[in-house]
A = this chain, B = another copy of it.
């Protein structure tokens, strides 16, 4: 199935030096992929020359004259950068010229622009950021990872519906299990919002497992973990911090003396295999769910390998029809809640 992805070629810490080689690699691997490279034509052409890329009918350049800076405020990006590579890539999705877009740019600006240009799906109050983390049994999807610091139970229910559809589409898993992130497994645990959310989830069509705790994310207790953006972001950043600490402690111990350095050399194949299993680059790409279009945010510091994974995520979402399925599921939940309201009245 042909899929066209608009790529914000200028976004991220490295811009075209990363985004373009990633696109070129994936074009070779996926013969049904088309890409639109969005950004300063001169910069894009220079990188294509540097990569010795041949003309490809599946690759086009779409000029955009401006750039959103990595530390620019969302308001400034929205107001002053109407021809930014980020915004033009999103416009291509809105106008139906692309099935999805990917950017490694400024998260706040990307979310604000995507929301302004694409609008939210019917039945969705706020878009959320969904990501994937490794687990003992495969991987765990999680949302919201930081778009919404204050959430109501209704918002969390909407996140659960969208996340559940995402997992069933991209993981090809019917009826994925949904866990509600809490500080204990019992019903009485947690804050008021979480307690009320549990009630909503119980009476939904979702395969609600119940409360899960922080360690369940990495145990893989459920396919999906739902939480507000404050808690989700703290869990994600805390994990990054701990993984870095453990990595640097391991490195320090292996570098302590000539003997330990020799041990490191001998164990290299195992250490590489270990690193590979947890390689965050394989999990790169956060999905902005709840918009009338597919937008995937890559880590700003992504390298070519990582950025390629973010594009793959966008392609998978477009190919599996995530948007249409979210809309259907939202309509289903809406009908159900109306029916229960009528029965109750």
Contact = CB atoms under 8 A, between A and B. Distances in A.
A191, A218, A263, A274 interface centre (most CB from chain B within 10 Å):
A218
Interface in A221-273: 227, 229-231, 233-246, 248-250, 253-254, 256, 260, 263-264, 266-267, 269-271, 273
Interface residues of A, number: 56
Contacts of A217: 238, 241
A238 B256 CA distance: 30
A238 B239 contact: yes
Contacts of A242: 218, 239, 242-243
A321 interface: no
A215 interface: yes
B266 A239 contact: no
A93 B136 CA distance: 44
Nearest to A262: B266
A214 to B, nearest CB: 3
The quantity of this chain's copies bound in the complex is: 2
A308 to B, nearest CB: 23
A215 B240 contact: yes
A241 B270 contact: no
Contacts of A231: 230-231, 234
A133 to B, nearest CB: 9
A340 B234 CA distance: 34
Contacts of A21: none
A146, A213, A248 interface centre (most CB from chain B within 10 Å):
A213
A86 to B, nearest CB: 19
Nearest to A238: B214
Nearest to A190: B149
Interface string A37-70: 0000000000000000000000000000000000
A266 B269 contact: no
A183 interface: yes
A173 interface: no
A215 B191 contact: no
A217 B217 CA distance: 19
Interface string A265-295: 0110111011001100000000000000000
Contacts of A300: none
Contacts of A263: 266-267, 269-270
Interface in A10-56: none
Contacts of A238: 214-215, 217-218, 235, 238-239
Given A219-B245, A260-B269, 6 more contacts: A191-B230, A215-B237, A217-B238, A231-B234, A249-B278, A267-B267
19 contacts: A135-B245, A149-B194, A150-B192, A183-B230, A213-B233, A213-B234, A214-B233, A214-B234, A214-B240, A218-B238, A230-B231, A239-B239, A250-B274, A253-B270, A253-B271, A253-B273, A260-B269, A263-B270, A264-B267
Interface of A: 134-136, 146, 149-150, 181, 183, 189-192, 194, 213-219, 227, 229-231, 233-246, 248-250, 253-254, 256, 260, 263-264, 266-267, 269-271, 273-274, 277-278
